[in-house]
Amino acid sequence: MFLSVVTTIYQPPAIIRNQCSYSIPIKSNFSYNYPQHENSRNHHNLPTRINHHLSRSPYVCRAVIALNLKEIKYEFVAEDLSNKSADLLKYNPVYKKVPVLVHNGNPISESLVIVEYIDEVWKGVPILPQDAYEKAQARFWAKFMDDKCFPAVFKAVSSHGEEQAVGEAHEAFQFLENELKVKGSKYFGGDNINLVDISATFVAFWVGAAEEALGIELLPKDKFPKLTEWSDNYVNCQAVKDSLPPRENIVAFFKKRFGKA
């Protein structure tokens, strides 16, 4: 059975898709964070929806964290990725994957694109800096997470902590450690979470779960004191904590997929 959550709010709709295992309908009221367009109150009973997996991949969590930071009401729509629905193929015909955000009937795909869209559409604490240079830097580091950091971590995990693979992950982590040292702040975004923090969610949460599941060390505190401190601060932020799956689910996933027989 798959989770289906559809938020009904008095504003244009949004949907996120991801794979899940049970069904819960949720409804919400009008969100005052949404920009007050002249005709916004005429959009009654239109859904804000998120398609996602029960275990919530790091990519899906990015979108959920952005919504929670903005205090936007939303609901999930189930997606069985082994038997992709007509809706998913309709909303994301190019990549055919989650997450997908559907807002006012328009689908938005790719997690970082979704996060930026949420930041532009809804009011609240900004996720991207206002300064053009700072915004460009945030996008640079977000791309670094996907292009360099995530592949290195995946290689280290899938190799069960093979020395060279762990070394490549440490090389990526060192760039993040140095960035935090230069900033001297609680988050990559300063006092508030920004795009870089959200893009690095897998470092803060999934890396620790992989270490526990496989008995390997990927992020030693003595080598990366700033990055481990950031991880603790980040996962304990309420908006982030409310967005993350149960840790035991992720540990079980890593054991099942990467554990040695």
Residues 136 and 240 in one domain: yes
pLDDT by 10-residue block (mean), the chain, 261 residues: 28 48 27 32 40 66 95 82 85 90 91 97 94 98 98 97 97 98 96 98 98 96 98 98 94 90 58
Residues 161 and 202 in one domain: yes
Q: pLDDT at position 75, please?
A: 76
Residues 87 and 164 in one domain: no
**94 in any annotated domain:** yes
Residues 174 and 81 in one domain: no
Strands 100-103 and 106-109: antiparallel
Q: What is the pTM of this model?
A: 0.82
- Contact assessment for residue 188 and residue 141, using Cβ atoms and an 8 Å cutoff: yes
Residues 243 and 136 in one domain: yes
Residues 138 and 92 in one domain: no
- Closest-CA residue to 127 (of 80, 170, 185, 68): 68
Q: pLDDT at position 147, please?
A: 98
Q: For residue range 99-114, what is the model confidence (pLDDT) as tens digits?
A: 999 998 889 999 999 9
Residues 46 and 159 in one domain: no
| Domain interval for residue 161 | 132-258
CATH assignment of the domain containing 35: 3.40.30.10
Residues 114 and 138 in one domain: no
Q: For residue range 183-235, what is the model confidence (pLDDT) as tens digits?
A: 999 999 999 999 999 999 999 999 999 999 999 999 999 999 999 999 999 99
Quick one: tokens of 172?
Answer: 């990526």
Q: pLDDT at position 97, please?
A: 87
**59 in any annotated domain:** yes
Examine the fold and report which residue of 97, 121, 145 is the final residue of a domain before the chain moves on: 121
DSSP classification of residue 245: P
**127 in any annotated domain:** no
**50 in any annotated domain:** yes
Residues 139 and 250 in one domain: yes
- Closest-CA residue to 158 (of 253, 55, 254): 254
Q: pLDDT at position 82, please?
A: 81
CATH assignment of the domain containing 190: 1.20.1050.10
Count of domains forming the chain: 2
Residues 11 and 40 in one domain: yes
